[in-house]
Amino acid sequence: MSGHSKWSTIKRKKAKEDAKKGKVFSRLAKELSVTARSGGGDPDFNANLRLLIQNAKQANMPADKIQAAIDRGTGAVEGIHYEEMTYEGYGPGGIAVILELLSDNKNRTSAEIKSLFNKGGGNLGENGCVAWNFEKKGVINLKVGDSDEDAMLELALEVGGEDVVFEDGIVQMITAPEDLASVCEAIRDKGIIVEDASLNLVPKNLAKVEGETVKRAIRFLEDLEDHEDVRNVYTNLDIPDEVAAE
């Protein structure tokens, strides 16, 4: 699939490290609350919430914490009110960056994100400055072991997926945004484990940078990813194989 920059591979490795620190539960709790607030707390009638619950279970988030996050979102119990925020800009080497955030204090978050851009050698831009180079897709990470590529491509056709990406032992099925939930369910019905699934912004064109700039760009992206209010970091950075493997 064009636009696969290996950043998702690095993010998944980092997510496993964050899981040990409890960061994953905190981020999932915010997402569960916001999704329940916007679409209701019943997963039977809220496909996005249903996907998040599955992701939370796959991450071994306790059921009581999942329900508590949903109850805060619906107002069944009191809790912090999170607002969704989006920033666009450029990182080292001119790479495009889009951030999705959930914050309980927009002024604080805005100041901190601006500081991270300045320290990392990037600069924030106006909304829409890089969004044109990304398209929304459903991304399903599968646990399939030593998978046969032809078989996985056939599976994608059968369940309504658009493409399959094979990268460093990770198998991702790409879907149209509106098909994400139904494709996930069809895959599970076949006994295949879905590690997680989400709507992502996938770059249409990648940006190549040279030498140390690649590592500076990755450090910059990881610093953004570490911010407690950041939900997702998307980029068009083309990461060389030897760097992604480190």
Is the alpha carbon torsion for 218, 6, 59, 47 positive or negative? positive
Assigned superfamily of 134-203 = YebC, transcriptional regulation domain (3.30.70.980)
**Residue 2 scores a pLDDT above 50:** no
Predicted pLDDT at 156:
92
Start-end ranges of CATH 1.10.10.200 in the chain?
7-74
Asked if 184 and 140 count as a contact pair (C-beta separation under 8 A), the reply is yes
Pairing outcome for strands 230-235 and 123-125: unpaired
Start-end ranges of CATH 3.30.70.980 in the chain?
83-132+204-240, 134-203
Helices marked H in 47-179: 47-58, 63-74, 106-119, 149-159
Mean pLDDT of the chain: 88
Query: Rounded to whole angstroms, what are the CA distances from 207 to 4, 24, 99, 184?
Result: 11, 29, 17, 31
Topology at the third CATH level for domain 83-132+204-240: Alpha-Beta Plaits (3.30.70)
Dump pLDDT digits (tens) for 49-75.
Answer: 999 999 899 888 999 999 999 999 999
pTM value is 0.85
Q: Considering the domain 7-74 in this protein, what is its CATH number?
A: 1.10.10.200
Asked if 164 and 156 count as a contact pair (C-beta separation under 8 A), the reply is yes
Residue 194 CA, chain-centre distance (Å), reads 15
Dump pLDDT digits (tens) for 167-187.
Answer: 766 788 999 999 999 999 999
Confidence tier at 196 by pLDDT (50, 70, 90):
confident
Pairing outcome for strands 123-125 and 96-103: unpaired
Pairing outcome for strands 96-103 and 230-235: antiparallel
